[in-house]
Structure 1
Amino acid sequence: MTTPFRIWRRMTMPDLVRVHRYQSLPEQGPKVLFFSGGSALNKISRVFKQYSHHSVHLVTPFDSGGSSARLRAEFDIPAVGDLRSRLMALADETVMGQPEVYDLFTHRLAQEAKPQALKDQLNALVMGEHPLIVPIPNPMKALIQTQLAVTQSRIQEDFDLRGASIGNLIMAGGYLNNQQQLDPIVFLFSRLIKSLGEVKTTLDASLHLGVELENDDIVLGQHRITGKETCVLSSPIKRMWLNQGLRHVRPTNRFIATDRQDAIENADLICYPPGSFYSSVLANLLPEGVGRAICANPNPKVYLPNLGVDPEQRGLSLMSCIMRLVAVVSDDVNKSEAVDTGGTKAVPLLGSALDYVLLDDHYDYGDLDETQLDAMNITVIRTPLITDKPDKYDEKRVAQALLSFV
Structure 2
Amino acid sequence: MTEMEPVPHVVVIGGGTGLSVMLRGLKKKPIDITAIVTVADDGGSSGVLRDELQIPPPGDIRNVMSSLADAEPLLSQLLQYRFKQVDGLIGHPLGNLILAALSDITGDFVGAVRELSRVLAVRGRVLPAADIPIVLRAEMEDGTIVTGESKIPQAGGRIKRISIEPADVAPLPDAIEAIRRADAIVFGPGSLYTSIIPNLLVPDIASAITESNALKIYICNVMTQPGETDSYSVSDHIDAVYDHIGKPIFDYVLVNNGDIPPEVKQKYSEEGAAPVTYDPEDAERQGYQVIADELVYFHTYLRHDADKLSHHIYRLVEGWMARKR
Q: TM-score if structure 2 supplies the norm length?
A: 0.84
Match of 1:288, SS state, is coil
Pick one of 233, 236, 244 that aligns with 1:328: 244
Note if contact 1:62-1:79 (Cα within 8 Å) is conserved in structure 2.
yes
Match of 1:270, SS state, is strand
Q: What is the 5 A alignment of 1:253-402?
A: 253-311=168-226, 312-330=228-246, 353-362=249-258, 365-368=276-279, 370=281, 373-386=283-296, 391-402=302-313
Measure how far apart 1:387 and its partner are.
Answer: 5.4
Count residues in correspondence. Answer: 299
Inter-partner Cα distance in structure 1 for 2:170 and 2:50 = 22
Inter-partner Cα distance in structure 2 for 1:273 and 1:257 = 20
Note if contact 2:21-2:304 (Cα within 8 Å) is conserved in structure 1.
no
Deviation per CA, 1:194-228: give whole Å up to 9, x if none.
00121111111122111111122211111112x3x
Inter-partner Cα distance in structure 2 for 1:361 and 1:103 = 33
Measure how far apart 1:98 and its partner are.
Answer: 4.5
Stretches of structure 2 lacking an aligned partner (at least 5 in a row): 260-274, 318-325
Change (3 A) 1:240 1:300: same
Out of 353-362 and 215-224, give the one that drifted further: 353-362
Inter-partner Cα distance in structure 2 for 1:239 and 1:79 = 22
Q: What's the counterpart of residue 183 of structure 1?
A: 110
Q: What's the counterpart of residue 12 of structure 1?
A: none
Measure how far apart 1:239 and its partner are.
Answer: 1.0
Deviation per CA, 1:165-199: give whole Å up to 9, x if none.
221112112222333x2211111011101001211
Inter-partner Cα distance in structure 2 for 1:55 and 1:89 = 12
Out of 270-279 and 160-169, give the one that drifted further: 160-169
Q: Is residue 171 of structure 1 aligned with residue 99 of structure 2?
A: yes
Inter-partner Cα distance in structure 2 for 1:112 and 1:388 = 30
Higher strand share: 2
Note if contact 1:385-1:393 (Cα within 8 Å) is conserved in structure 2.
yes
Identity between Structure 1 and Structure 2 (%): 28
The one-letter code sitting in structure 2 at the alignment partner of 1:66 is G
Pick one of 106, 109, 112 that aligns with 2:80: 106
Which segments of structure 1 move beyond 6 Å, counting only runs of 4 or more? none
Measure how far apart 1:49 and its partner are.
Answer: 1.1
Larger radius of gyration: 1
Q: Is residue 213 of structure 1 aligned with residue 130 of structure 2?
A: no
Match of 1:321, SS state, is helix
Inter-partner Cα distance in structure 2 for 1:112 and 1:403 = 43
Q: What's the counterpart of residue 126 of structure 2?
A: 199
Q: What's the counterpart of residue 265 of structure 2?
A: none
Inter-partner Cα distance in structure 1 for 2:73 and 2:124 = 17
The one-letter code sitting in structure 2 at the alignment partner of 1:392 is R
Note if contact 2:223-2:276 (Cα within 8 Å) is conserved in structure 1.
no
Q: What's the counterpart of residue 47 of structure 1?
A: 25
Measure how far apart 1:44 and its partner are.
Answer: 1.8
Measure how far apart 1:376 and its partner are.
Answer: 4.4
Note if contact 2:56-2:132 (Cα within 8 Å) is conserved in structure 1.
yes
Deviation per CA, 1:305-346: give whole Å up to 9, x if none.
111231211253321211111222227xxxxxxxxxxxxxxx
Match of 1:380, SS state, is strand
Match of 1:163, SS state, is coil
Taking only aligned residues, the RMSD between alpha carbons, in angstroms, comes to: 2.5
Match of 2:304, SS state, is coil
Note if contact 2:18-2:304 (Cα within 8 Å) is conserved in structure 1.
no
Inter-partner Cα distance in structure 2 for 1:102 and 1:209 = 30
Inter-partner Cα distance in structure 1 for 2:237 and 2:219 = 11
Stretches of structure 1 lacking an aligned partner (at least 5 in a row): 1-20, 116-159, 245-251, 332-351
Change (3 A) 1:387 1:218: closer
Pick one of 133, 151, 155 that aligns with 1:233: 155
